[in-house]
Amino acid sequence: MPETTVIVNTSPLLYLHQVGQLQLLQQLYGKVTVPTAVPQELEAGKLLGVNVPEINSFEWIEVRPVASIALIPAVIDLGQGEAEVLALGLEISDPLLIFDDKLARRIADLYKLKYTGTLGILVKAKQRGYLDSVAPIIAMLQSQGMWLNDKIINDILRLCGEVEP
């Protein structure tokens, strides 16, 4: 069985880095791919003083350009990173996309692409024994600006067995 290509967008990389959990991607998937827009978006954040990961310092993160620009969705409200993650997802057989954007997820659903997000990474890491608890990490994510409503938080904590069903 071929290994699934995991394609990650900017926000999961940024949030996991900011809460000290970027290594979860390597632990869960070994190697991940990012489109060229992702390091560009991270660099733009760095210039604004945001604490961003240095993508080139991780040998397990591969930067891969989109082969066919025609595959990049032309959706005005979609960021370049999300658009390129989706385009790479269409180029590669049976990928797993990792992004948090609601519109990108809707488009992925249209193309029947598999995806997860930052919180999905935390759930999988807890299930695999890489994390003892996700609740403190969710609190840190919120302090870093990740918007999460109470229902999402409770659903995740329930999935992780950290609150009663």
Band (pLDDT 50/70/90 cuts) for residue 143 is very high
pLDDT at position 89 is 94
Tell me phi and psi for residue 26, to 5 degrees.
Answer: -70, -40
pLDDT at position 77 is 78
Band (pLDDT 50/70/90 cuts) for residue 165 is low
Give the burial string for 31-67 (b: 16+ CB within 10 Å, else e): ebbbbebbbebbeeeeeeeeebbebeebeebeebebe
Is the domain covering 6-128 a CATH 3.40.50.1010 domain? yes
Residue 151, CA atoms < 13 Å, CB-side half-sphere = 0
Q: Is pTM, for the whole model, over 0.85?
A: yes
Band (pLDDT 50/70/90 cuts) for residue 1 is very low
Band (pLDDT 50/70/90 cuts) for residue 37 is very high
Mean pLDDT (whole number) for 128-133: 96
The DSSP bridge partners found for residue 114 are: 96
Mean pLDDT, the chain, rounded, equals: 92
